[in-house]
Amino acid sequence: MNEKIRVTAVSYLNTKPLLYGLFKSPVAAELDLQLDIPSVCAEKLRSGQADLGLVPVAILPELTQAYIVSDYCIGAEGAVKTVCIYAEKPLEELKTIYLDYHSRTSVELARILVREYWKVGAELLPAKPGFESKIQGDTGALLIGDRTMGLDLKYPYVYDLGEAWLQHTGLPFVFAAWVSTKPLDPAFIQRFNAALKTGLDYIPELIYLLPSQPDFDLNTYFTKYISYPLTEGKKEALRLFLEKINPEAQNHIQFFQEEVPVVAAARW
């Protein structure tokens, strides 16, 4: 019996279509799958506890070998809805912004946008569990994932990082990608990609199986705010983002040749 591929994946709502495809596919029998928050996924891949992961892209420069092995990602073509800075006051009046500890990619993106796009002087602080309660007065916070649901109704000022990145660069954004730390069998990658596509094709069915979310339209979220295909525009955006967080990373990027089947991939 072949050894299973150890997989770590983000447990947020936005990954459910991809995971649904994996669970519906025979490829599930080839996987040892665990679900975690993004920062834990990144650590498992970095430490060798996982062979393949849906991980925040900010980890890529830290890996000795990294291969993006899928045609699909967690991305946005503009507003993403669940990666936002929330505040009671306008951004330019904030003195402090806490940065969600769940994902370094969103933290790095917030740093870039605060510095280059919004150009405000708020102090950016690492957050700890419970930091959501600090959003008041001249203190705001970056929150990501499922915990953001309904917060746009609670706070008068909401700054969507996906939308701001598009306004700043004219590009979409990649928050997380399927990354392997070693070359994988092209035949497995084909099966893996086919399973992910199946999950996206079955979004209408999946919505019936998921608990309804008050004041949150799942179909709109999956089809308008989250953009799953890893397009050429998203690859360009990924290059730019990695260059901004680590100028040395750009020198290590080499996309695979087109003849490699199915793999929309990069190697560092």
194: which DSSP letter?
H
Q: Cite the residue boundaries of each domain of the chain with CATH code 3.40.190.10.
A: 5-77+172-267, 83-169
Q: What is the pLDDT of residue 249?
A: 58
Helix (H), strand (E), coil (C) string for 35-72: EECHHHHHHHHHHCCCCEEEEEHHHHHHCCCCEEEEEE
The answer regarding whether domain 5-77+172-267 maps to CATH 3.40.190.10 reads yes
| Per-residue pLDDT tens over the stretch 39-75 | 899 899 999 999 999 999 999 988 888 899 999 999 9
What counts of helices (H) and strands (E) characterise the chain? 9, 13
Q: Which superfamily does CATH assign the domain made up of 83-169 to?
A: Periplasmic binding protein-like II (3.40.190.10)
Specify the pLDDT at position 211. 87
**So what's the pLDDT on residue 254?**
40
List 159's β-bridge partners, or say none: 85
Determine contact, residues 144/76, Cβ cutoff 8 Å.
no
The token pair that represents 174 in the structure block: 């990649």
Tokens of 150: 């309904």
User: Residue 130's beta-bridge partner residues?
Assistant: none
Measured at the CA of 159, the angle between CA 53 and CA 171, to 5 degrees, comes to: 60
Task: Give every residue of the chain whose pLDDT is below 50, as ranges.
Answer: 1, 251-268
Query: Angle, nearest 10°, between helix axes 16-24 and 186-201?
Result: 120
